[in-house]
Amino acid sequence: MVELAIHGGPAAAEALEIPEWPTMNEASEQYVQEALDSGHWCRNAGGEFCDRLEAEFAAYHDAKHAVAVCNGTAAIELALLACGVEPGDEVIVPSYSFIASASAVPAVGAVPRFVDTDPRTYNIDVDHLEDVITDRTVGVIGVHFAGYPMDMDRLIPLVESHDLFLIEDAAHAQGSEWNGEKVGTFGEFGTFSFQESKSLPSGEGGIVVTDDDVLAERARILHNIGREQGTTGYRHYRMGRNYRLSEIQAALALGQLEKLDAENRIREENERRLLEELEAIPGIETKPRDERITARGYCLENFRYDPDAFDGLSRDRFIEALNAEGVPVGDGYEMPMYRQPAFFRNEIGRLLPDGTDIPDYRHLHLPGVEELCRTNVSYNHKVLLADAEGVQSIATAIRKIQDNTDTLIE
Ligand SMILES: Cc1ncc(COP(=O)(O)O)c(C=O)c1O
């Protein structure tokens, strides 16, 4: 009999050697050194790297404009401000995401309305979008969760038919494509994060992309404390914020962009082979293959776990056993976003105009996201950068646990 690693047996995924993340490359080292040597560490002091990053990132997306900002949270807030969101407006937000995808809305004085999540894709459930549109709704923030694109063929006509703006939170999706077009370019704005765990990291950082000249100019002014585009000094025309990215982080992000595609192709190939194995394991539900997803970006990856196919073994115990076998996985967000105390009325009420009708999120129930919180298993994108044999051993480890559940269930 094979002994599970959690009981002292040999780990099934011993071959899985996960590389360090983040990693430097020559270009990053060179550009950061140049930024340091230039003596211009703030873009307003005459540096070139924020400009270069914006030009390269926009070109990479075939977008007209990009504005670099200090993080992905600021990117969403900036997009909302540039879209003209006013205090008391409502914006539809995902229920399964990092908090910034929704907290950016009260941060600009507006009300988040949570829409359910499709547990198969982890993205907004488009079937339920119209349920949460009210006469105060002005826009939608959707997240390309884990880099798996939202169904743009369905989402775009729907938001257009209701005259809403769309902000694509692409914090996880650097390099993902829908029908040959980079995500982040379908809505009014695409927003990205360069935080260290992301696949294009600069420690902290972010960027917005848009094809709209007017929105781009507004974003540029607002991110530079209301100064006119390209100016410094003490004339402030709009009530903006300081969301600027530093030159040093821009230099780092510019260098990291040069290796993004090559790394994504390794992740994609490893994931393709892993999926073939995972799809054959009862009780492991992977995301649907969709031919319209023509390239994948990554931040993390997920599958759903069904205890019934593992003799009732709880997800927590499954995760513990898989970790012991050498596969680092976790359970992701433990609650739907609307359950976070940060969204309780007494907390977000402080940010909204007096008398705003705030939904009682504590009593909200959205079945798709609640199912995900019970069943999700996540792993980091760096796992998919391990060598092919190591990645394949993830499936071996899962099968080993499935074959030995009797030793795990008391
Ligand atoms: C989906 C999503 N949106 C936005 C953000 C915010 O990015 P940042 O941490 O750079 O503020 C994150 C960060 O993890 C994220 O996962």
Question: Is the CB of 195 within 6 Å of ligand 1?
Answer: yes
- Closest CA relative to residue 74, chosen from 224, 248, 183: 224
**Residue 155: predicted pLDDT:** 98
Task: Please give the Cα distance from 81 to 77 (Å, whole number).
Answer: 6
Helices (H), 352-387: 367-375
What percent of the chain has pLDDT above 90? 96
Read off the pLDDT of residues 334-354 as tens digits, 9 standing for 90 and up: 999 999 999 999 999 999 999
Picking from 220, 241, 257, the residue at the C-terminal end of a domain is 257
Residues 248 and 310 in one domain: no
Same domain, 222 and 311: no
Asked if residue 231 has pLDDT above 90, the reply is no
- What's the N-to-C CA distance of the chain in angstroms? 18
Please tell me which residue in 116, 118, 151, 169 is annotated as part of the active site.
169
Q: Where are the beta strands (DSSP E) in 205-334?
A: 206-210, 284-285, 293-295, 300-305
Q: How far apart are CA 155 and CA 149, in angstroms?
A: 11
169 bridge partner residues? 143, 191
Last residue in a domain, options 213, 241, 257? 257
Q: Which two tokens stand for residue 78?
A: 């900036």
Tokens of 77: 């807030």
Residue 408 has pLDDT above 90, yes or no: yes
User: What is the average pLDDT across 146-172?
Assistant: 98
Please work out whether the CB of residue 110 comes within 6 Å of at least one atom of ligand 1: no
Cβ(171) to ligand 1 under 6 A? yes
Whether ligand 1 lies within 6 angstroms of the CB of 143 is answered as yes
Could you tell me which residues are beta bridge partners of residue 153? Answer: none
**Index of the ligand 1 atom closest to the CA of residue 74:** 11
Q: Take residue 128 and report the two structure tokens written for it.
A: 């339920």
- The CATH number of the domain holding residue 396 is 3.90.1150.10
Half-sphere exposure of 20 (CA within 13 A, CB side): 4
Q: Are 183 and 250 within one domain?
A: yes
Give the position of tokens 């949570």. 114
Q: In sequence order, what are the beta bridge partners of 117? A: 124
The predicted model gives 159-180 an average pLDDT of: 98
Phi/psi of residue 193, nearest 5 degrees: -115, 140
User: 142: Cβ below 6 Å to ligand 1?
Assistant: no
Is 359 part of a structural domain of the chain?
no
Instruction: Give the CATH number of the domain where residue 134 resides.
Output: 3.40.640.10
Predicted local confidence at residue 230, as pLDDT: 80
Kind and range of the H or E element at 71?
A: none
Residue 228 has pLDDT above 90, yes or no: no
Query: Per the domain annotation, does 215 fall within a domain?
Result: yes
Mean pLDDT of 48-56: 98
Q: Which of 31, 49, 96, 98 is catalytic?
A: 98
Contact status, residue 401 vs residue 325, Cβ threshold 8 Å: yes
- Torsion of the alpha carbons at 153, 156, 157 and 161, rounded to the nearest 10: 170
The burial class, CB within 10 Å (0-12 / 13-18 / 19+), for 315 is middle
Vertex 42: Cα angle to 41 and 48 (nearest 5) = 80
User: In the numeric block, which tokens belong to residue 23?
Assistant: 């990693």
Cα angle 296-300-306, degrees, rounded to a multiple of 5:
105
| Known catalytic membership, residue 7 | no
Q: Indicate if ligand 1 lies below 6 Å from the C-beta of 205.
A: no
Domain stops at, among 257, 276, 307? 257
Please indicate, yes or no, whether residues 120 and 251 belong to a single structural domain of this protein: yes
Structural domain count of the chain? 2
Residue 246: its pLDDT value, please? 98
- pLDDT tens for residues 348-402? 999 999 999 999 999 999 999 999 999 999 999 999 999 999 999 999 999 999 9
Q: Is the domain of 268 the same as that of 318?
A: yes
Residues 114 and 196 in one domain: yes
Q: What is the pLDDT of residue 197?
A: 98
Q: Does 138 have pLDDT greater than 90?
A: yes
> Does residue 1 surpass a pLDDT of 80?
no
Per-residue confidence (pLDDT) for residue 249, from 0 to 100 = 98
Domain co-membership, 193 together with 284? no
12 and 128 together in one domain: no
DSSP letter, residue 314: -
**CA-to-CA distance for 296 and 289, rounded, in angstroms?**
11
The rounded distance, in Å, linking the Cα atoms of 323 and 172 is: 24
Unique residue bearing structure tokens 């504005």: 67
Residues 193 and 297 in one domain: no
Could you tell me the distance, in angstroms and rounded to a whole number, from the CA of residue 49 to the centre of ligand 1? 22
Active-site annotation holds for 400: no
The answer to whether the CB of 378 is under 6 A from ligand 1 is no
Query: Which of 43, 113, 144, 172 is labelled catalytic?
Result: 172
| Amino acid at the residue 63 | A
State pLDDT tens for residues 254-295: 999 999 999 999 999 999 999 999 999 999 999 999 999 999
Determine whether 234 is an active site residue: yes
CA of 371 to the centre of ligand 1 (A): 23
Residue 360 inside a domain? The answer is: no
Residues 180, 74: one domain?
Answer: yes
> What's CA 391's distance to the chain center, in Å?
23
Pair (172, 294) in one structural domain: no
| Residue 312 to residue 310: CA distance in whole angstroms | 5
Atom of ligand 1 nearest to the CA of 76: 4
Is the N-terminal amide bond of 22 cis, ω within 30° of 0?
Answer: yes
Active site residue 244: yes
Q: Does 339 reside within a domain?
A: no
Number of Cβ within 10 Å of residue 242's Cβ equals 12
The alpha-carbon radius of gyration of the chain (Å, integer) is 22
* Mean pLDDT value across residues 300-329: 98
Same domain, 226 and 114: yes
So what's the pLDDT on residue 169? Answer: 99
Mean pLDDT of 52-78: 98
Q: Are 361 and 114 in contact (CB under 8 A)?
A: yes
| Distance in angstroms (rounded) separating the CA atoms of residues 403 and 177 | 38
Does residue 348 belong to any structural domain of this protein? Answer: no
Q: What is the pLDDT of residue 232?
A: 86
How far does residue 187's CA lie from ligand 1's centre (Å)? 18
Residue 170 belongs to a domain: yes
pLDDT at position 229 over 90: no
Domain contains 358: no
- Domain of residue 42 covers 26-257
Nearest CA to ligand 1 atom 16: 98
Band (pLDDT 50/70/90 cuts) for residue 211 is: very high
Determine whether 62 is an active site residue. Answer: no
Residue 345 counted as domain residue: no
Rounded mean pLDDT, 240-244: 97
Q: According to the model, what pLDDT value does residue 154 have?
A: 98
Q: Please confirm, yes or no, whether 227 is among the known catalytic residues.
A: yes
What's residue 178's pLDDT? 98
